[in-house]
């Protein structure tokens, strides 16, 4: 292999201690410098305030980035060579009568044992996708003996009896409380994923405002534009700021241009790549300024990533039905963690009437996107939320933000360009030029940036291991040197974060 981190020659990795005092130190390009403290956490069900350290940590990014400027590409060296798709492997179905029964059993067992081993290894080297891989559902062993299916409306019993509606409604009430809407005013269900939540939220918007134009920032998840294509809606891609937030000035221009038609807006509570949180209040202000009354707009909040984290971070929760929003969705397998993909969507009862049909065959109501629905997922969510409670979730959020800031500080110490948005645990950095490294750590990359989304399973030990490996790749040094350098970077990061206390 040629130098896998060609970047290393352009931007030497500072193993030496001088880096601490050099001009590239954290204060200049990191986000840990002092700043006005943002308001974090507090009110409603989420409980007490977090440490002031965290308040200060997540506050100063806006000052350091020219956030009101136009979008600029993230600066990094281009990836070398084309990026090739890795073809998926194929495990053929075996024929039972082709060999003696015992040998057949042994083969099946070997396939499964190998696969479990691979899963364990892949789970331990995962940094890129926002999935919390740390969960324990041993108490639910045995449930896979049942075909649990919640088809239909969660609030109306179906004739199919093997369901988990009681768990589903319990989970929905929990989210309704988190997002501040009364039990008799909301409707929602447990989806198959965040995408389904987006498809549902945007459909509810479209059914209520049939000729509405969809507005979403260009950093929105691809499922938002997929919805526009599926529903054949007129869609407008709004520009973004450097942070990845929606550019409200551009939004205003588009809203004025289409004033004859109602507006359906997708507001991101954490964008996929940069973890940026769109400014819902500013979006609402602009709707008012441009003359869109509440009956002429519908806001869907895509909270797949941070919809569950942000309420624990900001004193005035960003995502709340006390504001005139129409729906919120979140992925269940991301921050909560679950062995199957899942999600939650919540909207106002009065909006969902527009797409609900009674189905005699189900003896229920059809207001979901899918037909059959995973009945195990609600039990996983119910179990974790019950075990952790609001306080446990709050602690998880705080730990993720802390570890994200430590990782960012460590990368800065190494001279790697990084960015970390306020309210976010997505650490954005230069895309490593080694595809082997990218695959090993399962980094999600877009263009010349990569990111690590710090979820509860990304412990500080894991961060240390990752940084050490990154040094090894960039530097081609001995493992011992890399270990020492990583440790030093961590000491530096911890001292810096501590010093903010
Ligand atoms: C992950 C993600 C989605 C899609 O969620 P899935 O559960 O993967 O379908 C949508 N929006 C954002 C912002 C996301 O990060």
Sign for the CA dihedral angle at 149, 154, 155, 158 comes to: negative
Whether the model pTM is above 0.75: yes
Query: Helices 460-475 and 479-499 meet at what angle, rounded to 10?
Result: 130
420 CB burial (10 A radius; 0-12, 13-18, 19+): buried
- pLDDT at site 180: 95
- pLDDT at site 82: 55
The domain defined by 143-385 carries CATH number 1.10.357.10: no
Strand partners, 444: 451
Please state the domain extents for the chain: 9-87+389-499, 143-385
Give every CB contact of residue 228 below 8 A, 6+ residues apart in sequence.
Answer: 202, 214, 216, 234, 235
Cβ-contact 377, 190 below 8 angstroms:
yes
In this structure, the dihedral spanned by the alpha carbons of residues 361, 367, 369 and 371, taken in order and rounded to 10 degrees, is: -20
- pLDDT at site 67: 30
User: Tokens at residue 274, please?
Assistant: 């940069």
| d(CA 437, ligand 1 centre) in Å | 24
Q: Give the per-residue SS3 of 101-121.
A: HHHHHHHHHHHHHHHHHHHHH
- Which residues' Cβ are closer than 6 Å to ligand 1? 193-195, 198, 221, 223, 268, 270-272, 302, 304-305, 331, 341, 343
- Rounded to whole angstroms, how far apart are CA atoms 311 and 308? 6
- Rounded to whole angstroms, how far apart are CA atoms 246 and 433? 29
Ligand 1 atom closest to residue 332's alpha carbon, by position in its atom list: 7
- Rounded to whole angstroms, how far apart are CA atoms 367 and 354? 9
User: Tokens at residue 359, please?
Assistant: 């189905």
- pLDDT at site 476: 83
In this structure, the dihedral spanned by the alpha carbons of residues 432, 434, 440 and 446, taken in order and rounded to 10 degrees, is: 50
Protein residue whose Cα sits closest to atom 2 of ligand 1: 304
- pLDDT at site 354: 85
Ligand 1 atom closest to residue 341's alpha carbon, by position in its atom list: 7
Cβ-contact 285, 250 below 8 angstroms:
no
| d(CA 364, ligand 1 centre) in Å | 28
User: Tokens at residue 154, please?
Assistant: 């969660």
- pLDDT at site 359: 66
- The residue assigned the tokens 């589903």 is 168
CA atoms within 13 A on the CB side of 323: 24
Cβ-contact 448, 76 below 8 angstroms:
yes
Which of 197, 198, 331, 453, when mutated, tests ligand 1's pocket best, judged by the most ligand atoms within 8 Å of its CB?
331
- First and final CA of the chain: distance in angstroms? 45
Protein residue whose Cα sits closest to atom 6 of ligand 1: 194
Q: Decide: helix, strand or coil at residue 265.
A: strand
Give the helix ranges, DSSP H, for 65-144.
Answer: 101-124
- pLDDT at site 36: 30
Give CA separation, 347 vs 290, 312, 329, 351, in Å. 25, 21, 9, 7
* Per-state percent for the chain, helix, strand, coil, to nearest 5: 40, 15, 45
- Rounded to whole angstroms, how far apart are CA atoms 17 and 1? 29
- The residue assigned the tokens 């691979």 is 118
| d(CA 27, ligand 1 centre) in Å | 33
User: Tokens at residue 31, please?
Assistant: 């986000």
pLDDT digit string (tens) for the chain, length 501 residues: 333 222 222 222 222 222 233 333 333 333 333 333 322 223 344 443 434 444 444 333 333 333 333 323 333 333 445 556 678 888 999 888 878 999 999 999 999 999 999 999 999 999 999 999 999 999 999 999 999 999 999 999 888 999 999 999 999 999 999 999 999 999 999 999 999 999 999 999 999 999 999 999 999 999 999 999 999 999 999 999 999 999 999 999 999 999 999 999 999 999 999 999 999 999 999 999 999 999 999 999 999 999 999 988 866 568 899 999 999 999 999 999 999 999 999 999 999 988 877 666 766 778 999 999 999 999 999 999 999 999 999 999 999 999 999 999 999 998 899 999 988 999 999 998 888 999 999 998 888 899 999 999 999 999 999 999 999 988 888 999 999 999 999 999 999 876 444
* DSSP letter, residue 353: G
- Rounded to whole angstroms, how far apart are CA atoms 202 and 345? 11
Sign for the CA dihedral angle at 121, 122, 127, 133 comes to: negative
- Rounded to whole angstroms, how far apart are CA atoms 226 and 62? 31
26 phi/psi in degrees, rounded to 5: -55, -35
The Cα diameter of the chain in Å comes to 76
| d(CA 216, ligand 1 centre) in Å | 14
37 is known as an active-site residue: no
Cβ-contact 318, 310 below 8 angstroms:
yes
Q: Decide: helix, strand or coil at residue 41.
A: coil
Could you say which of 331, 424, 425, 434 is catalytic? 424
- pLDDT at site 357: 73
Length of the chain equals: 501
Cβ-contact 418, 454 below 8 angstroms:
no
């Amino acid at each position: 292999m040629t130098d896998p981190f060609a970047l290393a020659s352009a931007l030497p990795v500072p193993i030496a201690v001088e880096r601490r005092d050099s001009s590239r130190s954290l204060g200049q390009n990191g986000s840990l410098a002092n700043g006005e403290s943002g308001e974090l956490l507090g009110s409603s069900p989420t409980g007490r305030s977090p440490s002031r350290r965290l308040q200060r940590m997540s506050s100063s990014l806006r000052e350091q980035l020219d956030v009101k400027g136009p979008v600029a590409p993230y600066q990094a060296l281009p990836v070398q060579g084309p990026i090739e798709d890795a073809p998926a492997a194929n495990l053929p179905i075996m024929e039972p009568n082709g060999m003696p029964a015992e040998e057949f059993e042994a083969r099946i067992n070997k396939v499964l044992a190998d696969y479990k081993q691979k899963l364990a290894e892949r789970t331990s080297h995962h940094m890129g996708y926002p999935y919390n891989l740390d969960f324990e559902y041993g108490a639910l062993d045995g449930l896979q003996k049942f075909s649990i299916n919640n088809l239909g409306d969660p609030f109306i019993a179906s004739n199919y009896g093997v369901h988990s509606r009681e768990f589903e409604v319990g989970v929905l009430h929990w989210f309704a409380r988190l997002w501040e809407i009364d039990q008799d005013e909301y409707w929602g269900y447990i989806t198959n994923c965040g995408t389904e939540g987006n498809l549902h939220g945007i459909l509810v918007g479209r059914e209520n405002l049939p000729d509405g134009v969809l507005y979403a920032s260009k950093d929105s998840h691809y499922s938002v534009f997929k919805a526009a294509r599926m529903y054949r809606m007129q869609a407008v891609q709004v520009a973004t700021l450097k942070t990845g937030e929606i550019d409200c000035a551009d939004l205003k221009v588009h809203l004025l241009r289409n004033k004859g038609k109602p507006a359906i807006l997708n507001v991101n509570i954490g964008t996929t790549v940069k973890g940026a949180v769109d400014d819902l209040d500013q979006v609402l202000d602009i709707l008012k300024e441009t003359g869109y009354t509440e009956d002429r707009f519908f806001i869907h909040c895509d909270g797949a990533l941070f919809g569950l984290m942000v309420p624990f971070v900001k004193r005035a929760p960003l995502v709340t039905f006390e504001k005139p929003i129409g729906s919120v969705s979140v992925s269940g397998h991301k921050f909560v963690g679950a062995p199957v993909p899942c999600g939650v969507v919540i909207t106002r009862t009065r909006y969902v009437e527009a797409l609900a049909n009674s189905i005699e065959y189900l003896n229920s109501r059809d207001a979901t996107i899918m037909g059959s629905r995973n009945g195990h997922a609600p039990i996983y969510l119910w179990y974790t939320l019950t075990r952790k409670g609001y306080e446990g979730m709050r602690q998880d959020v705080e730990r993720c933000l802390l570890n994200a800031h430590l990782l960012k500080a460590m990368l800065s110490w190494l001279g790697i360009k990084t960015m970390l948005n306020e309210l976010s645990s997505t650490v954005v950095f230069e895309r490593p030029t080694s595809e082997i490294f990218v695959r090993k750590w399962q980094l999600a990359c877009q263009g010349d940036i990569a990111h690590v989304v710090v979820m509860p399973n990304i412990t500080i030990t894991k961060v240390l291991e990752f940084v050490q490996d990154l040094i090894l790749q960039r530097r081609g040094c001995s493992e011992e040197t890399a270990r020492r350098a990583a440790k030093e970077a961590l000491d530096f990061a911890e001292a810096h974060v501590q010093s903010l206390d």
